[in-house]
Structure 1
Amino acid sequence: MILKLSQRNFGLDILRAISIWLVLLQHGKILNIDGLKGLTLGGIGVEIFFVLSGFLIGQIIIRNLQKSNTIKCIVNFWIRRWFRILPLYYLMLLFKFTIIDSSIGSNILYYIFFLQNNFYGIEYYEVTWSLVIEEWFYIIIPIFLFLTLKLSRKKNNVVIILFILFILFENIIRLIYVKKFNVPYSGVNGNVIFRMDALFYGVLLAYIKINFQNIFIKLSSLPIFIFSLICFITYIYFIITFSKLELGINGYIIPRTIGFTIFPLIIAFILPFFDSKSSFFQNSIPRKIYYKFITYTSLLTYSIYLVHPLIFEQLINKKLFKMVPEISFILATTLTYMISYILFKFFEAPILKYRNKKFSDRVT
């Protein structure tokens, strides 16, 4: 479904826009915080994406499964997600392989089947690491919810307990894995098996919104938002501090284990305020042009995410542009927005229109 601008949740659009701009600033080499290794600015943006994706996708699949907990519902969900994710991903992958760099050869198959994180490496098209995690999440989450709703007989408290047990289990196996093999931060960050909890927090939040509305309203209160924001800043300071110590971020167990669940949990507590206070944010934007910029940025987030590294590596890393990085960043970002808009309007939107015509988001 492609929502009209007036139908979109502006609070969540702000979160998307913040997320993608953190990624752009990181990859544009414009704003790098000394000591913020491992969890980079772009990494912060991706963590927000993870929780937000879990929250939005969770609402779709939960509502459908609660009405019709069937295999047909799961298959329909997969088809709709593949129509959204795969066409542009494969188009950009094809462009990279045929026009920019074909040196990867037959190993491109790892990228085609979303296996690069765990079995090959992400250096060829680095930003795809997060898409790999999300794509496998899209496969796993409807099956998990299908079984959870069956086992719990749709008892809400039991569902919440099963969610918590899954998150605890993931933390335990991540701790065992890191301690046994002394895995560095980067070795955990992109590992599909050990990052599902970040998205599951979003799904858990979606379940609370749908089935425990009073709790969700309390979570969206200003005091909880402010407290969560303080925790958010504190955690980033915590990572910077660990990075500056003699052993670095890889010398300590917390950032490589429980840290991967603490940060998305904090984001999950921030998110309800943005979701529930859409009109507050909309009225706080002083000019209509800013409102439209944020909304269109949110709408183009996926294409911007895939397009920008191909543009940035061609412009920002050139010797001519290194002399004035700010100008190269502005040029590269402007070009990224232009190409992303064209791709969305003439490639993504027609595909999504066809998807919505053939595969309804409501299965009976």
Structure 2
Amino acid sequence: MKKNNDFPSNGNLRYFIHLDTVRCYAVFMVVFAHIFQIWTWKDATESLFPLGQTGVVLFFVLSGFLITYILLKEPQHKPIAQSFKQFYIRRSLRIFPIYYLFLAICYIANISNVNDYGFMLWFYLGNFYIFNHNSWIGEYSHLWTLAVEEQFYLLWPFLVLFLRTRTKALLILFVSVIALASLARFYLLSDGFSYTQAKVFPLANVDFFALGALIALGNIYCQQTVRSSGYPLVVTGLVLYYGSYYVFEKMIFYMIGQLSIGLVATGVIIIALFSQAKEGILHNRMTVHIGKISYGIYLYHNAIVAHYAEIAGYFGIDAGNSYYIKIVISVLFTLIIAELSFWCIEKPCLRFKDLFRSA
């Protein structure tokens, strides 16, 4: 494969601003899906398209792209051990501060009996707690996705850095990982595990990260091919999803559906990656900024929605007002908390990342 020289391996990585807009839409997909689930006991969008799952998969594919892109752009003369150290320190500065502050507050106050989950959430093992008990864990259920990401980060950098000069080996690895996830889902469901367990099991999610990794590899070595595949992938994914919905029984539909959502997410990220669109209704300063604070939005939103009555009462707001007003107030409060978190905690911590920038 011919390497794309538009992206020099000098540690100066391009910033993909349109991906912040993708984060904005992805986090709102998850937020609204959870609002529907908490207040109506069902994701009202599920019969049309799984809004929450699509948002999660967008984040997974995006993470797979970014981590792989960053690792592949590491200077080849740089010691691998140094690359590992810098990657994990910078990653920790990004995600640990508000995650552990959030947990500390919840555990100290024992909000919603969080102490019942022991150390599992502290060590990013919430998905295994859900898997072992075959049950969601209330307002902390969404933390399973962060657990899966952290488990993915334990191994992926080693594989990519050791194979970074062997393009064909990387391609085989990424495709094999996609196949592995499908096999994991098939094994779990055919062996009597529930759909909840299949959803949170790490190996049943690695294909989404691998799809993002394929984008990164293609972006470096065959950019034009990747650029032209965005819309076809979205259309293919939608056709597969709705086509299999009416043709196959539940287990087969679930497996095809997961892959379909992955294809849609991959296509959307490719479209955003190469977008030349200026500011408009769908992409503007607001969507970019919300994308920047999306981690805080994701982390805090479930607790805010679950405790809406107490929060509203504290501020003298009628907790029994209309469903739509509750949605607006919950979203606004989530945005305010995430904004404060970003400026007071996340951004100061992110300044330390520059000390560990690739060089």
Q: Distance in 1 between matches of 2:238 and 2:136?
A: 29
Q: Distance in 2 between matches of 1:311 and 1:157?
A: 47
Q: Distance in 1 between matches of 2:196 and 2:281?
A: 40
For the Cα contact (< 8 Å) 1:89–1:306, is it kept in 2?
Answer: yes
Structure 1 SS opposite 2:47: coil
**Partner residue of 2:348?**
350
The partner residue of 1:294 within 287, 298, 301 is 287
Is 1:314 the counterpart of 2:307 in the alignment?
yes
TM-score normalized by structure 1? 0.81
**Partner residue of 2:151?**
136
Unaligned runs of 5+ in 1: 1-6, 246-250
Moved more, 27-36 or 167-176: 27-36
**Partner residue of 2:10?**
none
Structure 2 SS opposite 1:338: helix
Q: Give the direction of change, closer, same or farther, for the CA distance of 1:308–1:169 in structure 2 (3 Å limit).
A: closer
For the Cα contact (< 8 Å) 1:195–1:260, is it kept in 2?
Answer: no
The partner residue of 2:21 within 14, 27, 41 is 14
**Partner residue of 2:33?**
26
Structure 1 SS opposite 2:121: helix
**Partner residue of 1:159?**
170
Q: Deviations 1:98-119 (Å, cap 9, x if unpaired)?
A: 2361624363300001112123
Q: CA deviation at 1:256?
A: 3.9
RMSD: 2.8
**Identical aligned residues as a percent:** 23
Q: Distance in 2 between matches of 1:312 and 1:340?
A: 14
Q: CA deviation at 1:309?
A: 1.0
Is 1:101 the counterpart of 2:107 in the alignment?
no
Q: Give the direction of change, closer, same or farther, for the CA distance of 1:67–1:52 in structure 2 (3 Å limit).
A: farther
Counterparts of 1:122-271 in structure 2 under 5 Å? 122-124=136-138, 125-149=140-164, 154-179=165-190, 181-210=191-220, 212=221, 215-221=222-228, 224-238=229-243, 241=246, 252-271=250-269
**Partner residue of 1:304?**
297
Moved more, 321-330 or 347-356: 321-330
Q: Give the direction of change, closer, same or farther, for the CA distance of 1:294–1:106 in structure 2 (3 Å limit).
A: same
Q: Distance in 1 between matches of 2:239 and 2:333?
A: 35
The partner residue of 1:35 within 25, 32, 47 is 47
Structure 2 SS opposite 1:103: helix
TM-score normalized by structure 2? 0.82
**Partner residue of 2:90?**
80
Q: Give the direction of change, closer, same or farther, for the CA distance of 1:232–1:15 in structure 2 (3 Å limit).
A: farther
Residue 257 of structure 1 aligns with an amino acid whose one-letter code is M
**Partner residue of 1:57?**
67
**Paired residue total:** 331
Q: CA deviation at 1:47?
A: 0.7
For the Cα contact (< 8 Å) 1:51–1:202, is it kept in 2?
Answer: yes
Q: Distance in 2 between matches of 1:63 and 1:341?
A: 31
Residue 273 of structure 1 aligns with an amino acid whose one-letter code is I
Q: Distance in 1 between matches of 2:20 and 2:192?
A: 38
Residue 93 of structure 1 aligns with an amino acid whose one-letter code is L
Q: CA deviation at 1:328?
A: 0.8
Q: CA deviation at 1:13?
A: 2.0
For the Cα contact (< 8 Å) 1:58–1:203, is it kept in 2?
Answer: yes
Q: Give the direction of change, closer, same or farther, for the CA distance of 1:26–1:355 in structure 2 (3 Å limit).
A: same
Q: CA deviation at 1:15?
A: 1.2
**Partner residue of 2:270?**
272
For the Cα contact (< 8 Å) 1:78–1:139, is it kept in 2?
Answer: no
Structure 1 SS opposite 2:295: helix
Unaligned runs of 5+ in 2: 1-13
Higher helix share: 1
Structure 2 SS opposite 1:219: helix
Q: Give the direction of change, closer, same or farther, for the CA distance of 1:323–1:356 in structure 2 (3 Å limit).
A: same
**Runs of 4+ with deviation above 6 angstroms:** 316-319
Q: Distance in 2 between matches of 1:136 and 1:128?
A: 13
Residue 24 of structure 1 aligns with an amino acid whose one-letter code is V
Q: Give the direction of change, closer, same or farther, for the CA distance of 1:270–1:292 in structure 2 (3 Å limit).
A: closer
Moved more, 48-57 or 24-33: 24-33
Q: Distance in 2 between matches of 1:293 and 1:107?
A: 37
Moved more, 99-108 or 160-169: 99-108
Q: Deviations 1:28-52 (Å, cap 9, x if unpaired)?
A: 229822625xx73111111111101
For the Cα contact (< 8 Å) 1:321–1:327, is it kept in 2?
Answer: no
**Partner residue of 2:11?**
none
